[in-house]
Amino acid sequence: MPVQRLVPTQEAADLLALTREIAQEELAPKVAAAEADEQFPREVFRTLGRAGLLGLPYGEEYGGGGQPYEVYLQVLEEIAAVWASVGVGVSVHGLSCFGLATKGTDEQKQRLLPDMLGGELLGAYCLSEPHAGSDPAAMRTTAVRDGDAYVLTGEKAWTTHGGQADFYKVMARTSDHRSRGISCFLVPADSAGLVADPAERKMGLTGSTTALMRFEGVRVDADRRLGDEGEGLPIALAGLDAGRLGIAAVAVGLAQGALDDALAYAKERETFGVPIIEHQGLAFVLADMAAAVETARAMTLHAARLKDAGLPYSRQASIAKLVATDNAMKVTTDAVQVLGGFGYTRDFPVERYMREAKVMQIFEGTNQIQRLVISRALAKGGAVSTAVAPAEFALA
């Protein structure tokens, strides 16, 4: 079912049309086999990069798309509706570029960003550790200054694109201070001592490689540190707000794909002489699914528009991530129910959607952590800001 969208410009409408075309022609024919065989689709990311879809929220002067977040997230949604693993990968790549785009020097940006945003270099993000997931300040990976370089030692868990990426955005401890002792580095994948463990065997998103990364005395030039020493945790936390919106958009796309498949089946499958969508009990399930998708989309775009307006949006990003991923879990589960016994087989993709939705309630901060972020923001209170929206919009 086509999604009616309100976007700020005709350029954005054209961009979404291009994304749909690429998703249907380049992604859709590959997704089933790649997920079944657990194959990482590296060439797909090059295709997306060359089409200008990997660097959309970043500046055009460095090869980005110069698009507002509300447009970027809708592009992510269109990709994820066809292939969730790739949607997650695009979001993670964007997050891996965030530190350089926001805290890098002009020289660093000019030297590194064009290939990163153009898809020639694929990024990964290393924050979590085996003992420090929801509490990143407890990390133990160290970066010790040695002349004009740093030597990194430690482990980073749950790294999306681990072993496949061309560069890693890494948070490492440069002093003992809990929150101000962490710094941020861009580590080339071919650095001596950087080793990827075998990929994790996951329930879903099997086309997205996830691995533990080992830093065994990895030497990194000092000019690949982003920002000052001790700025790493603020860089990480600022990026996580944007990353949560990315995952919210992916969850909306996944839920939309599940709704579309369930709706198509309900219109074709007949019982008692009529399509099953004409039975009220099932029609109401589909109605609830549609309401859940639309609700998640609205919340995600609201948070994105706050971000685009330069207003605080951290609480809304957590709400969007919470609502979108919980709703995706419900919608994909209901999609399996709509298809009945067929939904439980691998002959139809809805069982895969259900497996893929689960992890979205976990990564980029578990939904329990989102509730903690939201409740703390409520306790602090604060003024409500208002921004005037642009007058011109286009339907896509």
User: Are 70 and 57 within 8 A, CB to CB?
Assistant: no
Catalytic status, residue 364 = yes
Residue type, 280: Q
Task: Report the 3 state secondary structure along 125-182.
Answer: EECCECCECCCHHHCCCEEEEECCEEEEEEEEEEEECCCCCCEEEEEEECCCCCCCCE
Q: How far apart are CA 169 and CA 147, in angstroms?
A: 21
User: Collapsing DSSP states into helix, strand and coil, what is residue 364?
Assistant: coil
Beta bridge partners of 151: 144, 219
User: Are 194 and 244 within 8 A, CB to CB?
Assistant: no
Q: How far apart are CA 221 and CA 279, in angstroms?
A: 65
**Strand 123-126 to strand 167-173: parallel, antiparallel, or no bridges (unpaired)?**
parallel
Q: How far apart are CA 251 and CA 188, in angstroms?
A: 30
Residue in this structure with the two tokens 């990709």, named with its chain if needed: 79
- The active-site residue, picked from 77, 129, 155, 364, is 364
CB-based contacts of 142-148 (< 8 A; 24+ apart in sequence): 142/172, 142/173, 142/174, 143/172, 143/173, 143/174, 143/183, 143/185, 143/220, 144/174, 145/174, 145/222, 146/219, 148/221, 148/222
For residue 358, give the DSSP letter.
Answer: H
Active site residue ranges? 364
